[in-house]
Structure 1
Amino acid sequence: MTLALLLVEDNPATRGMLQQMLAGTAYRVVVAKDGLEGLSKAKAERFDAVLIDHKMPLMDGVSLIKNLRSHESYQQAPLILMTTQDIQQVAPLASRAGADLCLAKPLQEKQILEIFSDLARTIQGLGKLTLSN
């Protein structure tokens, strides 16, 4: 079963790196270049999970998470925020907005593969989700 992942990231290099990391996994990755495009794509198609950059033009990641959580189809969906800022400061803001996990950049391939492998098993009903940094 292929799962749909929305990747919302304004940096082309980071977008490409994450797409490469997730190639060959259970995910079909759809990209958005900013928060507004991410919101538009999320409204047009139901994604199984959303990976969101923190600082982006037009709409930041925390605002996008708040918007997504207000839609019924994303009230339970895993929403993961990525940041280059101090994780100790950003994580509480992300959590209050409705993020399930806040990751510090630069992201490590092993970490991403473990998180999204666990997530795929959980979504497919084969395991229990244990998201942690």
Structure 2
Amino acid sequence: MSSPSILVVDDSPSLRRMIGACLRAAGYAVTEAADGDQARALAQQSSFGMLVTDQVMPGMDGLTLIRSLRATERYARIPMLMLTTEADSRIREQAREAGASGFLPKPFDPGQLMEAVSALIPTTEG
């Protein structure tokens, strides 16, 4: 079974590059988007096995993106990881209600990112 393709959404180019590099090094195919609107357009054109999204972005924020994708058959059940600098527990609750599968507070190191992704992506032992 091949690793799922992951859509990474963050308005920070440096953070997108870091997340993308970590995921690619682990064997995932990665597509990057700068905001929720771009991510939703990409998600309509292609199929992704996981979403990693920032919360605070210009235009469509992460919560709105997750809700929008969860409303579609294609993305109703894929893992969605929310990244945010907001330490507020209300944001975590809103993320869960929107359909986020996991939550990772910023700043984080690559190890924490990979642990969070590994915990959400089902693996099959052959």
**TM-score, length of structure 2 as denominator length:** 0.91
**Which AA in structure 1 matches 2:21?**
Q
Matched, 1:74 2:75: yes
Q: Distance in 2 between matches of 1:115 and 1:81?
A: 10
* Identical pairs, percent: 32
Alpha-carbon distance, 1:51 to partner: 0.2
* Structure 1 residue 24, shift from structure 2 partner: 1.8
SS of residue in 2 equivalent to 1:85:
coil
Query: 1-side partners of 2:88 and 2:15: how far apart?
Result: 18
CA RMSD of aligned residues (A): 1.4
Whether the 8 Å CA contact 1:87–1:102 is kept in 2: the answer is no
1-structure distance, mates of 2:24, 2:47? 20
Residue by residue over 1:70-109, the C-alpha shift from the partner in whole angstroms, topping out at 9 and shown as x without a partner, is: 0001110001110001242210000111111111001221
Equivalent residue for 1:105?
106
SS in 2 for 1:72: coil
Q: Is the 8 A contact 2:8 2:16 kept in 1?
A: yes
* 1:27-56 residue CA offsets vs partner (Å, 9 max, x unmatched): 101000000000000111110000000011
Which secondary structure does the structure 2 equivalent of 1:73 belong to? coil
Partner of 1:61: 62
Specify the code of the residue in structure 1 equivalent to 2:23: L
Structure 1: gaps of 5 or more residues: 127-133
State the Cα distance separating 1:117 from its structure 2 match.
3.0
Aligned to 1:95: 96
SS in structure 2 at match of 1:46: coil
The offset of 1:113, in angstroms, is 1.5
Maintained 8 Å contact 2:56/2:84: yes
- The number of aligned residues is 124
**Contact 2:101/2:120 (<8 A) preserved:** no
Q: Which consecutive unaligned segments of at least 5 residues does structure 2 have?
A: none
Shift of the alpha carbon at 1:65?
0.4
Asked if structure 1 preserves the Cα contact closer than 8 Å seen for 2:6 and 2:48, the reply is yes
Cα 1:99–1:119, aligned 2, differ >3 Å: closer, same or farther?
A: closer
Is residue 44 of structure 2 the alignment partner of residue 43 of structure 1? yes
